Amino acid sequence: MVGCRYFHPVHLLTYLLIISATYASQGDRSPAHTQCLRHCHDNICKHDPPPSGILKNPKFNMLVWDCESECEYSCMWKTVTLFQMHDYAIPQFHGKWPFARVGGIQEPASMFFSLLNAAAHLYSIVQFRKLVPSIAPMYWTWHGYFSVALNAWFWSTIFHTRDFLFTQHMDYISAAGLVTYQLYAYFARVLIYRHTFYTRAIAFVTAFLFFLHSYYMLFVHFDFGLHVRVSVFIGILNALAWFSWSAYVWTKQPYVWKACLTLMLLFLCVALELLDFAPIAWVFDAHSLWHAGTAPLTLLWYSFIVDDCNYMLKSGRQAS
């Protein structure tokens, strides 16, 4: 009979320990996890200094693995083992999958791929500077894009190394800054042949809205749902804008296929992230694969902006 085993007192206890989490779909809310944490805190962390067992990796202390976070980490795996033993789905903890840390790095794959993205931007800006004369239109606008992107990938690397509220907020805000700047770059590009007043007005409006959003998120209330909706809205607007412009100039500027392909593949990567599966080998989850996917797309995007800057230059335009 299904569920009969839970009538054994030991199994019943186990069942009670994890059943509420099954409904809540959150490992950190399961009684097994909270009890483990309480035990760890009361019996280990309250000792001054804590017994050496819990802090068995003192070199990790550099990455702020203190007694409490070591308790979180070991209790997370104890809870996962318990869930697996009873054939429950792998639970998430505080909205994240359980990851095996490497050298104290909390999400090694996402951290590595974030670094790879930063490297892709660094490599690409060097190529851009080699191939595009500094008098080309959009030359400095794309340098601005590089700076904003490097900042975003820097915080992404830090956040995936160690997840704290501060590093999380900096990652989210910096990523929103990147999509906002891409939208600004679109307007700067399509208004390039107009008076600079229009570009400056757009720069002012986008920067103002971005700082308003960041101020609200960081100092009033960090509404994660609102933040995601705003970022997705700007991302979709950005893609639609570049797609329509590409369709409009396709015959004269055939290289725009690079921009279209970048955006289409970017959407595929977003779709991959929506699959949100438990980490393969406790390392590779959908989010890390999304970061892996954006690194090669960076090269394609810069290849497009190199062609575009040189096209404008050949058309007799110079930076004003």
The residues that touch Zn ion, with contacts defined as CB under 5 A, are 156
- Nearer residue to Zn ion within complex by CB, 96 or 143: 96
- Nearer residue to Zn ion within complex by CB, 156 or 253: 156
* Structure token pair of residue 274: 């929506």
Minimum CB distance to Zn ion, residue 264 (Å): 21
- Nearer residue to Zn ion within complex by CB, 79 or 156: 156
Neighbours of 302 (CB within 10 A): 25
- Nearer residue to Zn ion within complex by CB, 162 or 258: 162
- Nearer residue to Zn ion within complex by CB, 156 or 231: 156
* Residue with nearest beta carbon to Zn ion: 156
> Mapping DSSP to helix (H, G, I), strand (E, B) and coil, where does residue 60 land?
helix
The 8-class DSSP code of residue 58 comes to G
Kindly report each contact of residues 255-260 with a partner whose C-beta sits within 8 Å and lies 24 or more positions away, as own/partner. 255/304, 255/307, 255/308, 255/311, 256/304, 256/308, 258/300, 258/301, 258/303, 258/304, 258/307, 259/301, 259/304
Minimum CB distance to Zn ion, residue 290 (Å): 7
Minimum CB distance to Zn ion, residue 174 (Å): 10
Q: Which alpha helices (H) appear in 7-131, and where do they start and end?
A: 9-24, 31-40, 67-85, 108-131
How many Å apart are CA 140 and CA 129, to the nearest integer? Answer: 10
Minimum CB distance to Zn ion, residue 160 (Å): 6
Who's near 107: CB < 8 A, 6+ residues apart? Answer: 99, 160, 161, 163, 285, 287, 288
Minimum CB distance to Zn ion, residue 291 (Å): 6
- Nearer residue to Zn ion within complex by CB, 106 or 156: 156
| Residue 192 φ/ψ region, left for φ over 0, alpha for ψ in the -120 to 50 degree band, beta for the rest | alpha
Minimum CB distance to Zn ion, residue 235 (Å): 15
